[in-house]
Amino acid sequence: MKKKLSRDDEALLGLARENGLRGVKESQAQILLPLSRAELISLAQYLEEEGRIRILGFSPLFLISRESVDFLGRKIVAYIAKFHRNHPGENGVSLDQLKNRFDIPVKILLLALKALVHDGTLRGDGSGYALEGFERQLPPREEKILGALEEMSLTSERPALSSRDLQEKLGLTAAKLESLLDILVERKKIVRSRDGFFLHSRWLDDLVARIRSSARRELTVADFKAMTGLSRKYAIPLLELLDEMGVTRRRGATREIL
């Protein structure tokens, strides 16, 4: 249960609600409330703890009401859903498109997007956003190629494949292959390592399960090569991927299994 607000609390919250998506600048708040800067910041922090506002900056103070952030979130979701309906073959909406659509301070837009990604409504990497669960709809020929790519990543003698391997086998341009691989990553069918290798998600999940269910507490490169049958060329990037995933942690020449 939220506490009853004081007169100053109500005044600042009322200003935030009135300003909506413009947010409240420190200079505006000081006109309304004859408080010192320290008192104003303390007041804003209290309202944020109560879940009434969100602070976007302290130097100078800049804040927005929680209702406004939620309202913006609903608008963003509706806009992206409409974009998906009109452009089913595209990955999603770019940040620049969202900036042009919503003429508001960028800090506020980014705050709303971060909240939507955090709660699982959207997926995005800071440059583009899509509804969680959305899958691009491709022509039948391209869906067939996607199926072939996924099958190759699952049944290849080498679990870790490079873009060059796939490009040579399928006869695709580098740009087209990259586009199709991105779709498989979006669909969580394959995983891309930082070194540019691709692995099928099912194979990787099985490997993680084997590592965690083993009696080992640490793993050497030689152990890992024996476990997977991979050469050092592929074993090292995969171990680094497992480090990034939090499955292992490098300690000198060995990996600690977490």
pLDDT at residue 1 in the model? 47
Exposure pattern of 59-69 as b/e (b: 16+ CB <10 Å)? eebbbbbbebb
Are residues 95 and 129 in contact, defined by beta-carbon separation less than 8 angstroms?
yes
- Topology of the domain comprising 7-65: Arc Repressor Mutant, subunit A (1.10.10)
Amino acid (one-letter) located at 170:
L
- Residue 94's nearest CA partner among 72, 109, 73 is 109
pLDDT at residue 150 in the model? 79
pLDDT of 196-209, one tens digit each? 777 788 888 888 88
For residue 21, the 8-state DSSP code is: G
Instruction: Supply the CATH classification number for the domain 203-257.
Output: 1.10.10.10
CA–CA dist 158, 153 (Å, integer) = 8
pLDDT at residue 63 in the model? 95
- Tell me the CA distances in angstroms from 60 to 30, 37, 50, 150, one per residue in order: 11, 10, 21, 51
Instruction: Supply the CATH classification number for the domain 68-131.
Output: 1.10.10.10
Cα three-residue angle 66-72-75, rounded to 5 degrees: 150
pLDDT at residue 156 in the model? 66
Q: pTM, whole model, 2 decimals?
A: 0.65
Residues of the chain below pLDDT 70: 1-5, 156-161
